[in-house]
Structure formats: structure tokens, C-alpha cells
Chains A and B, each alone.
Chain A
Amino acid sequence: MEIVDVSKEQVPPLTPLAAAPRKRRPKLRITKSKKMLAGLVILGFFVVMGVIGPWVAPYDPNALGDLTGPGGTQSPGGHHLLGQTTIGNDIFSQLVAGTRPTIEVAFLSGVIATALAIIIGITAGYMGGLVDEVLSLTANIFLVLPALPLLIAVGAFLGPDRAGSPWVVSLIIAATGWAWGARVMRAQAMSMRNRDFVEAARIGGESTSRIILAEIMPNLSAVIASSFLFTTLYAIGTYVGLGFLNVVSAGPHYNWGTMLFDATSSSAVEAGAWWWYVPPGLAIAILGMSLALINFGIDEYINPRLRVATGAGKAAKAAGVKLRPQLGFTPVVRKRAVATVPTIVQLEEAP
């Protein structure tokens, strides 16, 4: 992602992606951003766990094993890597098997919410006028309504089992999570409405839906990706939160939120049974962090100024020169020899 400022008048705009002609869009090279790479590796691990989790879990997460750990406790060791719950469930199996519902709901709500955000946001931004007014108003209202109390209320009426179905819980989470992305995409679509290539497509008689899908959307891929990660992160937090409140249950599977619910309702914290509540909590935090790290990378790609080590500073470090850019004092690093003495040519004598 080598983006070089050539001169002041060529400073890359805030969203080079949207500004640059499509063919010259800089390639997003994942390996260039360490944060993004780290995020993707962690996320990949959890996704694999989500797929194979229920099969590789050593025990049935619901099986009530006998409490025969070392010294007659349920602390980690022996056959139970992370110990057992007070009723003898294997915590490690719960953790591994619980990855699937968490990942499933997170991505499902992420996809639904992002799709809603794209449709509503881009339509509003591209169409403008009354359509925009109505859609923006709707998005803004959803944005100011506190989501979790609403979800708790809805979940309470549905009951934990019905609310616990991945589709139902994903739908209700997505219903409260699309507005932010829609607002961002509306702004982007508005800035693209009058771009040459959109104009050309419009004059060429392409349909509105085709212009949105084929012309505008591909240019918003970074913004869409960022919005998707954001809603997915939100969905994880909300889903485990609802699980923790026991407003949704994960049915025969566990999810990390219901594990924490079980742990706290069994006074695991007071009893010092850290192996019960720390693993699911950490798993949530690490999964969330992986998404945040990827988002970091995307943000820095959209707005190169945000990168931690700045261009000159970073390269100077590699070259062995200490350089700390400071606003208002362009660094001076003389390394090249100054050129030769001027040759004076007397062309014509002044009269």
C-alpha cells in the first residue's frame, strides 16, 4: 500500500478508493499491514473452530460427567482441560462447541445488517430527494434508539428458546445494527453520484439497480468491509450479552454468553473458579479484537494518514536515520553531495 504524496496538490483525498478511477485503484495488500494479518489469522482460527468445534469437542458439552478431578475438585487437569462446571459439564468442550453458534450468529447478523445498510444507504445517497429524506430519517431514528433494551424486550416476549434460534436472533440483532453502516454508505454514495463513470452509466441508459450494483458498490468495497466488520463485532457483543442475560438460549449447544450466565449464576467468581468464566470471556475479547484489528487495517487503507509509523519516519528508520516528523519543521537529512559549480556562459554582451 505504497501511497506517495507527490506534492501538496496531489495529496491523496480522504478516500482514494472513491476518488481514483476504478482501474487505478491501489491494491489492498494484506501482508503489508501487520495488524490486518494478525486479525485475519485469529479470525481464521475461530472460523475453523466454528466449523469443526462440535465434532472435535472431547465431550458432549451437556453430558454430566462425574466430578473426579485431581483432589476431587473441578479445576482444570486430568481428562478435563479446563475443568468442569458445578454440575460436571466439560468446560473445554462447551468452549469449543460454543464457537459455532457465536460465529454463526455473528456472521449471519453481519451479513443481514450490511445488506440492509447497502440497500438503504446507497439507495438514499444515490437517489437523493424525498427517498433520501425518508430513508435517512429512518436510519437516524434507529441510530438513536438504544438497541440492547429493545432486544431484551423483544427477547423477553419471544422466550429464550424461540429467541435462541440462530436465524431469529440474527434477524433481530441485524434489525438494530444496520443504521450506522447505512449512514456511512449514504455519504459515500452521495459523493459518487456525480462521478464521471456513474454519469456515463446513467446517460448510457443503465437501470438504477444496475448502476448501484455494478458501478457504485464495487467502489465502496472497503467501506462495506469496514461496515460488515463493525456490525459483526456489534453482533458478537450483543449475542453473548443476550446469552449472558439468558434472554436467548443456544439450545443444546452452548454459546459463550450462556457459559458466562451459568458461571455467574453459580457464583463462580466468588468461588474463585476462574477456569469457568475466564476462557469464554477471553475468547469473546480475542475474537472481537481480531475484527477490530482488521478494521484498523481497512481504516488505514482508506485514510493512509492514520498509519502509526508515518512514511518518512518509517523509511528513515530502515535507513538508519532517526527522524521524527514534527508539524511545521520539515526534517533536514542531507545525504547527497551538492552539485557542481555553475558554468557561466557569456552569450552576448549587453550593448
Chain B
Amino acid sequence: MSVAQGPATPSLPISSVPGEPVGETLLEIRGLSVDYGMGNQPVHAVDDVDLVIRRGEVVGLAGESGSGKSTLAYAIARLLRDPGVITAGEAYFYDWPKGSYQDAGSGQVRKTAVQPRVVDLLTDDKRVIRSVRWSEIAVVFQSALDALNPVLRIGRLIDDVLKAHEKDMSKDERVARAKELLGIVGISPDRLNSYPHELSGGMRQRVMIAVAVALQPSLLIMDEPTTALDVVIQREILEELMDLRERLGFSILFITHDLSLLIEIADTIAVMYAGKLVEKAPAKALFRAPRHPYTYGLTKSFPSLHGDKVVMVGIEGSPPDLRKVPSGCPFHPRCPWAMDICTTTVPPALELHDVSGSRQVLCWLQDGAHEVPPELALVPPVAGTEEARPSMRVHGTPVHARTIDEGTTGEH
């Protein structure tokens, strides 16, 4: 985890690793740590996390309850409530000029020198942070019922948001824009005069999305946006969201405990456990060829109907109490392949490169000095092949054990 020397230039201007989504860096997190409370007994909710989100990329952040995934997401936006404190690391947001993004899928990778404004999310002045928040980084809260002011008509809320940022807009223009926003999330414009409680759960979440995209941000942080909804509505909203993303071109940091959902929508999946980011890889590769024992357990887990407690095949126990995180690798008490070193020393952050591209893994087994168990050495699907992503809700798809030798054929 390199100590960033200052955000003079984006460290990853354009990805050259095949198979990864092409796009300039939008958000760069280095060694971020978040504590709850300070002094005698702080809880390390997020511990030394690196994460890069590129323009247009959908990054899924998966993990169980208490893994720190929501904490991380809120800390990035500096929206974490007391007693949350950011204790280490850096977070930079690259504010690219509006309209400069071109979809990588079109094959036209722009070479002209468009330079972003770099915002240091942790040290810059509050005014600077206020200027990028919502206009560039917007948040879709978990429960729209809680996030929409119950005594305010939704038109009024959208109007307040527009008024705060678009000083030149007239009252009529704002109303027109609010109607347009409702339109793009599939709600009739006459709902502007409705109160949140008068809308259904799905409609409320759509309004929440409309409020979030009101200023055309380049990053949407979505905190379990569909968890509270039933499966049919959930599906509808996700499809609309992906359409919207294609039209408006924003990146998404999608937080969920439902890994199967991410495989369908995310380009990249990051998995968190006990405050640490244990694995980050292209979505398909992560699902088909997990490198971290915990990810392996997750991919073999049962779908959870209630809440986000995950039952894993072959992995006993439950996530640790963050006040008493085990020494060494926090996963070692549950890891079937735990070694002596795992109990004493935190694994190094490894960056692996294979056919699917590069990935981050936090595991001693993958450091090259140890023998990799066959389950964790699967061959990932070759990047770029037009293989259909596993469809939604295929939980526990059997993953065939292969050896490393097989892997060298590069074939799935």
C-alpha cells in the first residue's frame, strides 16, 4: 500500500490491464482506517483499505453485517456519524470536467489531455467537500423511508437540492427539472406534490435515486439500496438503475451482502471481512475463481432470506466482534487452511495478475511461498470472452476443483 506522495496526477490514468473496465481514476482510497470512538477502546471498523474506482465502473462492496462495508462507504463521503473517526489513510476524488467521459465500450479511448481537479476528501476545506458532495458524489441511502424528510413534499426536497447547487436556475426551471428527474426514474411528474409516506416502497427508492442523480454526479454510493424491497421491485429498480447509468455515465459503489446480486451488476467486486478488504477482483473472476478463503466461502454460501447473516458451507463460526478482532489474519479462526503465520501476522496486501486481470488479495496462502490449496487456485475465466455472466440468484453454483496445472491452459 503505497503512501501516496500527493495527488498531483492520478496514479492510474487509463487502465491498460486487459479485461478491466477502461476509464480514468475517479476515486482513490489508500490505507484508509476508520475507528469508532477514540482513546482507550477504539473499534477498528475499517482497517487499512485500498480501493480505486474508475469512471463508469460499477464496484460492488460485499461483506457481512459488521464487516465495515457501510462504514467505508460513508467515510469516503465524510458522512460517517459520531463516534466514527478516520484515523489513517488518504482519499482523493478526481473531479473530471462534466461531459468528458466517453464510454470505454465504444473503443474510443480518448488521448487528449483532460485534467481533473483533485479533491483531497480528508483534508480539503469543508467548502470544497461541500462543492463535490452531491454534485459529484451522491449517496443513495439504505432506507428511502428514513432518508426522505417525512414532512416535506418530494418536489420540495428536489427543489432544495437544486437550489443549493444551481444558483442560476429559476423557480420554473427547477420545477421542470424536478419533473424530468421523476420522469427518468419512472415516476409520474404529478407525484411532486406527494409526501414520502404516500408512495410505495419501490417508488420511494426511485425518488431517492432521482434525488441522488439530480445534479448528475459522477459517483453514486449506494448503501444496500434494494434490501428492503421485494424481489420483483428490486429487480425492476436494478435494471432501471443500470439503464440510467448507461445514459448518465456515473460510477457506482454498490454496497450489499448479496454477492449474487453483484455478480450481475458489478464490474469489480471487493469483499470485506472484519474491517479489512480481503479480496478485490473483476466480478466474474472473483465469483468463479476466488483467491481468498473467505470469498470462497461466500461464493458457496446459501442465499439468505432474512437479513445479512450468511451461512457458509464448510466454514464454521461467525464474524468476530470488532472489539476483539483476532490477531494476525482476522479470518484465521474460521479458515480451513489456516497456518501458524496466519494467527500471528497480518497478511501482506498482494496484487496478483492473472488472465482475468489484476486483483488484490489479503492472504498468506497467495504470497508465492506457500502451497495454494486447489480450491483457491482456480483458473479464472479469460478476460474479454463473451461468456454470459451467471444469472441472478444462482447461489452456490458448484465450482469445480481444478489444479494449477490445468489452469495454465487458460481455458475454462
Contact = CB atoms under 8 A, between A and B. Distances in A.
A333 B122 CA distance: 10
Contacts of A207: none
Nearest to A331: B85
Nearest to B409: A351
A350 B87 contact: no
A308 interface: no
B100 interface: no
Nearest to B366: A345
Given A4-B323, A339-B31, A342-B1, A10 B85 contact: no
Nearest to B76: A330
B38 A5 contact: no
Contact of A350 (B39, B71, B355): B355
B247 to A, nearest CB: 29
B286 to A, nearest CB: 15
A337 B88 CA distance: 7
B307 to A, nearest CB: 9
A267 interface: no
Q: What DSSP secondary structure best describes chain A's contact surface?
A: loop
Contact of B66 (A10, A343, A347, A349): A10
B190 to A, nearest CB: 32
A316 B39 CA distance: 6
Contacts of B215: none
Interface stretch (B41-49, B51-59, B229-237): B41-49
A325 B65 contact: no
Contacts of B81: 5, 325, 327, 330
A31 interface: no
Contacts of B210: none
A345 B355 CA distance: 14
Given A5-B83, A8-B71, A329-B129, A336 B353 contact: no
Interface string A1-39: 010111111100000000000000000000000000000
A209 interface: no
A330 B39 contact: no
Interface centre among B34, B40, B88, B322 (most CB of A within 10 A): B88
A332 to B, nearest CB: 4
Interface string A271-291: 000000000000000000000
Interface in A128-170: none
Interface in B321-357: 322-323, 348-355
B351 A345 contact: yes
Contacts of A312: 36-38, 82-85
A8 B43 contact: no
Interface in A315-351: 315-316, 318-319, 321, 323, 325, 327-351
B85 A4 contact: no
B348 A315 contact: no
Interface string A283-323: 00000000000000000000000000011111110110101
Interface centre among A2, A321, A336 (most CB of B within 10 A): A336
B150 interface: no
A318 B88 contact: no
Nearest to B32: A338
A8 B143 CA distance: 12
B78 A329 contact: yes
A320 to B, nearest CB: 10
B33 A310 contact: no
B354 A330 contact: no
Interface size range of chain A in the complex: 35 or more
Contact of A311 (B37, B68, B87, B408): B37
A5 B36 contact: yes
Contacts of B38: 312, 315-316, 319, 321, 323, 333
Contacts of B40: 315, 318
Interface string B365-386: 0111000000000000011000
Interface in B206-227: 223
Contacts of B42: 315
B400 interface: no
Interface centre among B31, B67, B83, B352 (most CB of A within 10 A): B83
Interface string B6-18: 0000000000001
B83 A310 contact: yes
A330 B74 contact: yes
A47 to B, nearest CB: 35
A319 B41 CA distance: 11
Contact of B78 (A311, A328, A333, A342): A328
B351 A344 contact: yes
A330 B31 contact: no
Contacts of A345: 350-352, 366-368
Given A9-B65, A312-B83, A338 B3 contact: yes
A334 B86 CA distance: 7
B353 A331 contact: no
B70 A333 contact: no
B354 A4 contact: no
Contacts of A333: 38, 85-87
A330 B65 contact: no
Contact of A348 (B69, B79, B348, B355): B355
Interface in B290-314: 308
Contacts of A329: 78, 126, 129
Given A9-B65, A312-B84, A319-B39, A342 B353 contact: no
Nearest to B404: A348
Interface string B235-273: 000000000000000000000000000000000000000
Interface of A: 2, 4-10, 310-316, 318-319, 321, 323, 325, 327-351
7 contacts: A6-B322, A310-B83, A311-B82, A312-B38, A333-B87, A334-B88, A348-B354
The 5 closest A-B CB pairs, nearest first, are A315-B39, A312-B83, A311-B83, A325-B82, A330-B80
